[in-house]
Structure 1
Amino acid sequence: MKLLVLASLLLGNIALQLQLCNAKANTQVEHVIVLMLENRAFDHMLGYLTNINSDIEGCTPETCSNPIDPTDPTSPLVNLTYDAVYQQSDPCHSISCTTEQVFGYSSADSAQSKMTGFIKSYADRTGNTTYAPRIMESFHPSHVPAIYNISQEFAIFDAWHASVPGPTMVNRAYAASATSNGMGTNNPKMEGFGLPQKTMFEQLLDMGLDFKIYFQQFPSVLQHKPMRKPHILPKYHILDKLFMDLEKGDMPEFSWVEPGYFDGVINNKHVFQATDQHPDHDVSAGDDLIRQIYNAVRSSPLWEKTALVITYDEHGGFFDHVSPPAAPNPDGLNATDDPFDFTRLGVRIPTIIASPLIPKGTVVKAPESGEYEHSSLVSTVVHKLFSAEEGYEESTYLTKRDEWAATFETVFSLSEPRQDCPLEAPAVVSHRVQFPSVLPKLDGKMPITHLQQEIIDIASMMETEICQSDVDVLLGEKEMKEEGEALEWILGRVEDCLGIKVLEE
């Protein structure tokens, strides 16, 4: 099955070439594709790049380490390595755990962020002190060749942070709406009933523009209640349609791509491999998704007008050495489930933009004002790259966060598209082939994660809100133990409620 995602953002000094009254885009970029993967920190995924380009703020075994116990001044240090393949236990990355990791178990109110608590946080939550130092493992380029190659060919941000020092759905909410409406913990009840705030997708429609959501198994943006409205539902498409639309040159202004979140084998013949890179999934499957999406964008007739953005939701508890900066609270709401006032960003995560309008080897550093974080997607796409169609009004800012977030339109600095961009990303060899004794069996028998349970709860609400089924599935009632079982049920909800058939006969 073809796979995921593309992301693009656009702007520059080329706006003068367009007639403002009819212009859809303020740059030569007319289509933006964003692929958001799961749970990887910058140093953990791309820190090796500092060995290739010293301008990139990465990590080496000689420069980066963590104490086993940061509360003990005599604690031995564990140096970073380039041995990462697979992380068996999902590291904790709640607001509380991230605070421990960032501040080294000192008070966040009184101490500087030391970035020294990663090993202890992992050990405390898993109870496995022997395995805990593996949190310091990062990836060698040979293990994730697609993302490494693309990051060197176009633009890499070495100062892009998660919006919140916390979990997946909270940060994905910021990518869509520049707030989580006060949610600090992935809250199945809030997600199931739907976050109420306006999203950038609605902003684009208000501007007379269009968008599509492409997904492999389930679109997590359904955690937003406005994304369940009848006029929005036709904009959801299975991932294969992305490849068809790119080939035909039929793409909207903005596209949001979601990877697969579940491993599973259905009816003993349909094999689904998660591509989100979330532990404990095969990271090479997500890297191959990146490869497939880049190749499809590169071969599309829209290549010269398209920007592909590849990013991650949050750090997933993995090591990074750069302290997260402060940020404004978006809307005056504070989290009470895991108390937090939303005035501090999360850990750095990998973010790359591919476009022929970007000089090769561009490294985007921290901005002079604001910061690069997920609200930058909202701010750049809606307020910098695109303008409203004639007869439509320009959008206002959703929150104080997208008003503050740094924008990246200036990365598209070339007046003419480059002609030396790689035609294809390098082939990716499966880690299941390279390291067969390390990864679990691809049989769907692994226990479901917290994230997967939240997706189940969102899908549960589709029964009553979208397809108005007679089936009485209450929020929190549908509990499953294995991800393969959950996947089969999820695909059934997608077919019944969205009318999209994922599973072939």
Structure 2
Amino acid sequence: MTVLDQIDTIVIVMMENRSFDHALGYLSLNGGQVNGLSADPTWQANFINEYNGKQYPIHPLSPNGPPISDPPHDRGPIATQISAPCTAGGCPELGGFVQSYATRTPAPSNLADVMGYYDASTVPTFDFLAKHFTVCDNWFAPLPSGTQANRLMAMAGESRISDNVHGLSFLPDQPLVYDWLRQRGIPWCVYQSGSFFPFFSLMKEWLPEILLSLTLPLDEAGGNFRRYSRFQDDWQGNGILPKVIFIEPEYTDGPHNTANDDHCPTGMAGGQAFIADIYRTLISNPVRWKETLLVVTYDEHGGFFDHVPPLDIAVDIGGYSFKTTGLRVPAFLVSPYVTPGSVFSGKLDHTAVLQMLAEKFDSHNVYSTAVSARSAQLDRLSSALSGQPATQPAPTLAGAPMHAAAAAFKGAVQAGVSDTSQGFHNVALQVARDHPQLLTSPQWTGLAQYLSTYGKH
């Protein structure tokens, strides 16, 4: 029996747009095991970014600082971030973060923000998880590109687009892990935070099932797409739950009330509270918890500095030839089946989760040809697990402090803010055209309010 045989439920959470060094690099400043930041001034000087005659060093960010303007993080800006040299005498690459940020329209409030990092006071939930579970410090976004292509890689192992789809367009239809699991008879579901849409409402073929599932009353047995507000009752109940559970935050780029995905200008506090709530729910049912693995990661680095170059993994995506992965992102394995306070430094990207699902649910340990080809150049996520589960009760996570200035950004999100927000706006318009009855449903009051404000844009 393998360790995966002993795990009954795999829970997967993917947040938005932060790099490893930006969110977790502080863990090594006082001698921690992770491959993060160094307190050595000579080491830090190697990565100074220079722009317009001014130098921008690595520096701590205040937990009470103003919201950070969203850095560019599409394919073109990321190429600049990765390939431009640092200041003279420094690193020959990874010097273009500030240069890329300066191209933002409107101009960012503070160019230095992309070189900043947080500490435990801003990411208390992550600090707790690092102390008690496993940090993966060599986990990369699959592609040096934006949100949409990387989330497709995470949920399919391949992508039909190489960059974000522009304008009021849906993503091209392609098979997802939902299809893969369904074909094998593996129960799965998605819990969506907030009152709007999960990510793959952006793919038109999934929209009917998503709308049908999310319109079910909260006290009725759910379909494959469910509101996160019912997760605790489902988890603590005696009913049979799916083997694979995806939990999605409320997206800053979507029509939102209280975004908690960490996508700038949303601060980190909402996401820390969200992940803390997921963890507390999981351990609230000790019987389920003892057979559970929670995977937490981010879709891509969001334009923030990281000191580790991408992996040399080439792939043709959507007619474009990528030579490397994207940059590192924060990642955790949370389970009784990991060594407390450990670091896993094997080479990973999002497709490692798909490979792990194949090892558990496919008789040939194969997800797809594309994932197998990529897995040959990566390490196995399953090798980070321990065959001997913890025998002590799960550690208790105290309430995460909420810094007012870092709380979830509550601004107007409308068509034109970003490619993904335009996509969600398109979803809202499509729902209004095809399913106007939903606008009077109590499950979709937020959608009606959003459309009354932005429906004409």
- Verify same fold: TM over 0.5: yes
Q: Aligned to 2:57, what secondary structure does the other structure show?
A: strand
Q: TM-score of the superposition, structure 1-length normalised?
A: 0.75
- Report the alpha carbon displacement of residue 244 of structure 1 after superposing the two structures with TM: 1.4
Aligned residues: 421
Letter in 1 for 2:336: P
| Pair 1:280 & 2:265 matched | yes
Q: 1:51 to 1:333 in 2, by over 3 A?
A: closer
Partner Cα distance (1:258, 1:36) in 2: 7
Deviation at 1:221, TM superposition (A): 1.8
**1:239 and 2:228 aligned:** yes
Is structure 2 residue 335 aligned with structure 1 residue 355?
A: yes
RMSD: 3.4
Q: Aligned equivalents of 1:91 and 1:446: distance in 2?
A: 16
What percent identity do the matched residue pairs reach? 23
Q: Give matches, 1:25-424, under 5 Å.
A: 26-61=4-39, 62=41, 63-65=43-45, 66-69=47-50, 76-83=55-62, 85-104=65-84, 114-126=93-105, 128=107, 131-188=110-167, 192=170, 194-216=171-193, 217-228=196-207, 230=209, 233=213, 234-249=223-238, 250-262=240-252, 272-300=257-285, 301-329=287-315, 332-335=316-319, 340-367=320-347, 372-381=348-357, 383-387=358-362, 396-397=367-368, 399-400=370-371, 403-404=375-376, 405-422=378-395, 424=396
Gaps of 5+ in 2: 214-222, 438-444
Residue 469 of structure 1, CA deviation: 3.5
SS in 2 for 1:276: coil
Shift of 1:255: 0.8
**Cα distance, 1:59 vs structure 2:** 0.8
Spell out, residue by residue over 1:248-289, the C-alpha distance to the aligned partner (whole angstroms, 9 max, x if none): 154211111111124999xxxxx9311111111131011000
Instruction: Work out the CA distance in 1 between the residues paired with 2:308 and 2:253.
Output: 33
Matched letter for residue 308 of structure 2 = V
Deviates more, 1:223-232 or 1:53-62: 223-232
Determine the C-alpha separation between the residues in 1 that align with 2:272 and 2:408: 18
Task: Tell me if structure 2 keeps the 8 A contact 1:177–1:398.
Answer: no
Distance 1:264 1:223, change over 3 A: closer
- Give the structure 2 partner of residue 488 of structure 1: 449
TM-score calculated relative to the size of structure 2: 0.82
Q: For residue 304 of structure 2, what is the amino acid of its counterpart?
A: F
3-state SS of paired residue (2:101):
helix
CA distance in 2 between counterparts of 1:45 and 1:491 reads 37
Q: Deviations over 1:332-365 (max 9, x none)?
A: 4445xxxx41331111000101000111122111
Q: How does 1:432-471 map to 2 (within 5 A)?
A: 432=404, 435=405, 442=410, 444-445=411-412, 449-450=417-418, 451-462=420-431, 468-469=434-435
CA displacement at 1:319 relative to structure 2? 0.9
Unaligned runs of 5+ in 1: 1-12, 16-25, 107-111, 266-270, 472-483, 493-505
Over 3 Å counting, the alpha-carbon distance change for 1:230 and 1:431 in structure 2 is: closer
1:137 Cα deviation after fit: 1.5
User: Can you list the C-alpha shifts for 1:185-205, whole angstroms capped at 9, x where unaligned?
Assistant: 243455x1x432211111111
SS in 2 for 1:92: coil
Contact 2:297 2:330 in 1 (8 A): yes
Q: What SS class does the counterpart of residue 231 from structure 2 fall into?
A: helix
Shift of 1:375: 1.2
> 1:14 corresponds to which letter in structure 2?
T
The answer to whether the 8 A contact 1:214-1:258 is kept is yes
